[in-house]
Amino acid sequence: EVQLVESGGGLVQPGGSLRLSCAASGFTFSTYTMGWVRQAPGKGLEWVSDINSSGERTYYADSVKGRFAISRDNSKSTLYLQMNSLRAEDTAAYYCAKAKSSGSSYDYWGQGTLVTVSS
Amino acid sequence: DMQMTQSPSSLSASVGDRVTITCRASLVISNYLAWYQQKPGKVPKLLIYSASTLQSGVPSRFRGSGSGTDFTLTISSLQPEDVATYYCQNYNDAPLTFGGGTKVEIK
Protein backbone atom coordinates (compact mmCIF):
# COMPACT_ATOMS: atom_id res chain seq x y z
CA GLU A 1 0.00 0.00 0.00
CA VAL A 2 1.34 3.41 -0.98
CA GLN A 3 1.80 5.74 1.97
CA LEU A 4 2.99 9.33 2.03
CA VAL A 5 3.45 10.91 5.45
CA GLU A 6 4.31 14.58 5.72
CA SER A 7 5.91 16.22 8.73
CA GLY A 8 7.61 19.46 9.68
CA GLY A 9 4.73 21.91 9.55
CA GLY A 10 4.01 24.40 12.29
CA LEU A 11 3.84 28.05 13.24
CA VAL A 12 6.63 30.28 11.96
CA GLN A 13 7.14 34.03 11.90
CA PRO A 14 7.24 35.97 8.64
CA GLY A 15 10.72 35.76 7.17
CA GLY A 16 11.40 32.46 8.89
CA SER A 17 12.18 29.02 7.53
CA LEU A 18 10.77 25.52 7.73
CA ARG A 19 11.70 22.19 6.18
CA LEU A 20 8.92 19.79 5.31
CA SER A 21 9.54 16.08 4.92
CA CYS A 22 7.50 13.38 3.23
CA ALA A 23 8.27 9.77 4.07
CA ALA A 24 7.20 7.42 1.30
CA SER A 25 6.55 3.69 1.39
CA GLY A 26 4.78 0.98 -0.57
CA PHE A 27 6.38 1.77 -3.93
CA THR A 28 9.83 2.16 -5.49
CA PHE A 29 10.35 5.80 -4.52
CA SER A 30 13.47 6.28 -6.64
CA THR A 31 11.59 5.70 -9.90
CA TYR A 32 8.85 8.32 -9.55
CA THR A 33 8.54 12.06 -9.93
CA MET A 34 7.25 13.65 -6.72
CA GLY A 35 5.65 16.97 -5.99
CA TRP A 36 4.26 19.39 -3.43
CA VAL A 37 0.81 20.97 -3.66
CA ARG A 38 -0.60 23.43 -1.14
CA GLN A 39 -4.05 24.61 -0.15
CA ALA A 40 -4.66 27.79 1.80
CA PRO A 41 -7.53 27.60 4.31
CA GLY A 42 -10.83 27.57 2.43
CA LYS A 43 -9.09 28.00 -0.94
CA GLY A 44 -8.27 25.85 -3.96
CA LEU A 45 -5.27 23.72 -4.80
CA GLU A 46 -2.00 25.40 -5.80
CA TRP A 47 0.87 23.46 -7.35
CA VAL A 48 4.15 24.34 -5.63
CA SER A 49 7.01 22.21 -6.97
CA ASP A 50 8.04 18.97 -8.67
CA ILE A 51 11.24 16.93 -8.74
CA ASN A 52 12.08 14.14 -11.15
CA SER A 53 13.02 10.66 -10.01
CA SER A 54 16.77 11.25 -9.86
CA GLY A 55 16.48 14.71 -8.33
CA GLU A 56 18.32 16.32 -11.23
CA ARG A 57 15.37 18.35 -12.48
CA THR A 58 13.25 20.60 -10.34
CA TYR A 59 10.33 22.90 -11.13
CA TYR A 60 8.68 25.67 -9.13
CA ALA A 61 5.64 27.89 -9.15
CA ASP A 62 6.53 31.55 -9.66
CA SER A 63 5.08 32.32 -6.23
CA VAL A 64 7.81 30.28 -4.47
CA LYS A 65 10.72 30.43 -6.92
CA GLY A 66 13.89 31.57 -5.21
CA ARG A 67 12.46 30.96 -1.74
CA PHE A 68 11.60 27.25 -1.71
CA ALA A 69 13.80 24.30 -2.63
CA ILE A 70 12.60 20.77 -3.33
CA SER A 71 14.92 17.82 -2.87
CA ARG A 72 14.82 14.09 -2.29
CA ASP A 73 16.88 11.36 -0.68
CA ASN A 74 16.16 8.18 -2.60
CA SER A 75 18.16 6.12 -0.11
CA LYS A 76 15.68 7.20 2.58
CA SER A 77 12.55 7.32 0.34
CA THR A 78 12.00 10.85 1.56
CA LEU A 79 10.97 14.07 -0.18
CA TYR A 80 11.77 17.49 1.24
CA LEU A 81 10.65 21.07 0.82
CA GLN A 82 12.92 23.73 2.28
CA MET A 83 10.91 26.91 2.71
CA ASN A 84 12.75 30.20 3.35
CA SER A 85 11.64 33.83 3.58
CA LEU A 86 8.15 32.69 4.50
CA ARG A 87 5.24 35.06 4.03
CA ALA A 88 1.72 35.16 5.42
CA GLU A 89 0.42 34.04 2.01
CA ASP A 90 2.40 30.80 2.34
CA THR A 91 0.01 29.71 5.09
CA ALA A 92 -1.54 26.49 3.83
CA ALA A 93 -1.79 22.75 4.15
CA TYR A 94 1.11 21.28 2.18
CA TYR A 95 0.52 17.95 0.46
CA CYS A 96 3.18 15.60 -0.80
CA ALA A 97 2.09 13.79 -3.96
CA LYS A 98 3.38 10.96 -6.13
CA ALA A 99 3.19 11.28 -9.92
CA LYS A 100 1.86 8.36 -11.97
CA SER A 101 4.91 8.77 -14.17
CA SER A 102 7.34 11.48 -15.20
CA GLY A 103 5.46 14.65 -16.06
CA SER A 104 2.15 13.22 -15.02
CA SER A 105 -0.83 13.61 -12.76
CA TYR A 106 -0.67 12.74 -9.07
CA ASP A 107 -2.14 9.35 -8.16
CA TYR A 108 -1.34 9.34 -4.43
CA TRP A 109 -1.42 12.16 -1.90
CA GLY A 110 -0.32 12.48 1.70
CA GLN A 111 -2.61 13.75 4.44
CA GLY A 112 -0.89 17.12 4.48
CA THR A 113 0.99 19.20 7.02
CA LEU A 114 -0.17 22.65 8.06
CA VAL A 115 2.17 25.62 7.80
CA THR A 116 1.08 28.84 9.49
CA VAL A 117 3.08 32.00 8.93
CA SER A 118 2.15 34.62 11.50
CA SER A 119 3.72 36.92 14.03
CA ASP B 1 1.80 31.82 -17.69
CA MET B 2 -0.68 29.01 -18.07
CA GLN B 3 -4.18 29.68 -16.76
CA MET B 4 -6.79 27.00 -16.15
CA THR B 5 -10.33 28.36 -16.01
CA GLN B 6 -13.08 26.17 -14.61
CA SER B 7 -16.78 26.80 -14.85
CA PRO B 8 -19.07 26.98 -13.11
CA SER B 9 -17.45 27.74 -9.75
CA SER B 10 -20.34 25.98 -8.05
CA LEU B 11 -23.46 24.08 -8.96
CA SER B 12 -26.40 22.43 -7.30
CA ALA B 13 -28.12 19.45 -8.91
CA SER B 14 -30.50 16.68 -7.98
CA VAL B 15 -29.57 13.06 -7.43
CA GLY B 16 -29.59 11.33 -10.79
CA ASP B 17 -28.90 14.49 -12.78
CA ARG B 18 -26.21 14.73 -15.40
CA VAL B 19 -23.55 17.22 -14.32
CA THR B 20 -20.99 18.87 -16.59
CA ILE B 21 -17.93 20.86 -15.52
CA THR B 22 -15.68 22.60 -18.02
CA CYS B 23 -12.02 23.51 -17.89
CA ARG B 24 -10.29 25.78 -20.38
CA ALA B 25 -6.52 26.09 -20.72
CA SER B 26 -4.97 29.35 -21.88
CA LEU B 27 -2.46 27.40 -24.02
CA VAL B 28 -2.73 24.15 -25.94
CA ILE B 29 -1.93 21.24 -23.63
CA SER B 30 -2.84 18.29 -25.88
CA ASN B 31 -4.45 15.76 -23.50
CA TYR B 32 -2.21 16.44 -20.48
CA LEU B 33 -5.17 17.15 -18.24
CA ALA B 34 -6.24 15.53 -14.99
CA TRP B 35 -9.37 15.81 -12.88
CA TYR B 36 -9.38 15.48 -9.10
CA GLN B 37 -12.17 15.17 -6.55
CA GLN B 38 -11.79 16.61 -3.08
CA LYS B 39 -14.48 15.79 -0.57
CA PRO B 40 -14.90 18.11 2.44
CA GLY B 41 -12.03 17.64 4.89
CA LYS B 42 -10.36 15.04 2.71
CA VAL B 43 -7.31 14.74 0.49
CA PRO B 44 -7.67 15.20 -3.29
CA LYS B 45 -8.26 12.02 -5.27
CA LEU B 46 -7.30 11.44 -8.89
CA LEU B 47 -10.36 10.70 -11.03
CA ILE B 48 -9.21 11.04 -14.61
CA TYR B 49 -5.86 11.50 -16.36
CA SER B 50 -4.85 12.00 -19.96
CA ALA B 51 -8.11 13.96 -20.25
CA SER B 52 -10.26 10.86 -20.59
CA THR B 53 -8.70 7.85 -18.86
CA LEU B 54 -10.49 6.74 -15.73
CA GLN B 55 -8.21 6.09 -12.76
CA SER B 56 -8.51 2.58 -11.35
CA GLY B 57 -11.41 2.21 -8.94
CA VAL B 58 -13.28 5.33 -10.06
CA PRO B 59 -16.96 4.74 -10.88
CA SER B 60 -17.85 4.67 -14.56
CA ARG B 61 -20.37 7.50 -14.13
CA PHE B 62 -17.38 9.85 -14.29
CA ARG B 63 -16.24 10.68 -17.81
CA GLY B 64 -13.62 13.06 -19.12
CA SER B 65 -13.32 14.44 -22.61
CA GLY B 66 -11.54 17.09 -24.62
CA SER B 67 -8.17 17.93 -26.07
CA GLY B 68 -6.15 21.02 -26.86
CA THR B 69 -7.61 23.76 -24.69
CA ASP B 70 -11.16 22.70 -23.85
CA PHE B 71 -12.02 19.86 -21.49
CA THR B 72 -15.09 18.50 -19.78
CA LEU B 73 -15.81 16.35 -16.73
CA THR B 74 -19.24 14.73 -16.81
CA ILE B 75 -20.99 12.88 -14.02
CA SER B 76 -23.68 10.91 -15.80
CA SER B 77 -25.92 10.37 -12.77
CA LEU B 78 -25.09 12.44 -9.71
CA GLN B 79 -24.93 10.50 -6.44
CA PRO B 80 -24.92 11.85 -2.86
CA GLU B 81 -21.33 10.69 -2.41
CA ASP B 82 -20.23 12.91 -5.31
CA VAL B 83 -20.62 16.05 -3.18
CA ALA B 84 -17.14 17.52 -3.47
CA THR B 85 -15.02 20.15 -5.14
CA TYR B 86 -13.58 19.14 -8.49
CA TYR B 87 -10.32 20.48 -9.88
CA CYS B 88 -8.69 20.21 -13.27
CA GLN B 89 -4.89 20.29 -13.61
CA ASN B 90 -2.59 20.86 -16.54
CA TYR B 91 0.53 18.69 -16.54
CA ASN B 92 1.76 19.47 -20.03
CA ASP B 93 4.52 21.66 -18.69
CA ALA B 94 5.45 23.54 -15.53
CA PRO B 95 3.74 25.33 -13.89
CA LEU B 96 1.34 22.42 -13.36
CA THR B 97 -1.58 24.78 -12.82
CA PHE B 98 -4.85 23.77 -11.17
CA GLY B 99 -8.19 25.25 -12.07
CA GLY B 100 -10.04 27.22 -9.45
CA GLY B 101 -12.38 24.38 -8.58
CA THR B 102 -16.06 23.59 -8.98
CA LYS B 103 -18.08 22.88 -5.86
CA VAL B 104 -20.84 20.34 -6.48
CA GLU B 105 -23.78 20.14 -4.10
CA ILE B 106 -27.03 18.20 -3.98
CA LYS B 107 -30.22 20.20 -4.50
What Cα–Cα distance (Å) separates residue A46 from each residue in A23, A43, A109, B36, B73?
Answer: 21, 9, 14, 13, 20
pLDDT, chain A, mean: 97
Q: Is the pLDDT of residue B44 over 90?
A: yes
pLDDT of B1 above 90: no
CB-CB: which of B1, B94, B98 is closest to A45? B98
In A, which residues are within 8 Å of B94 by CB distance? 50, 59-60
CB B99 within 8 A of CB B72: no
Contact B49 A105 (CB under 8 A): yes
CB pair distance less than 8 Å for B98 and A46: yes
Residues A100/B49, Cβ–Cβ less than 8 Å: yes
- Say what the pLDDT of residue A104 is: 85
Residues 58-117 of A with CB under 8 A from B: 59-62, 95, 100, 103-107, 109-112
Q: Could you tell me what percent of chain A has a pLDDT over 90?
A: 97
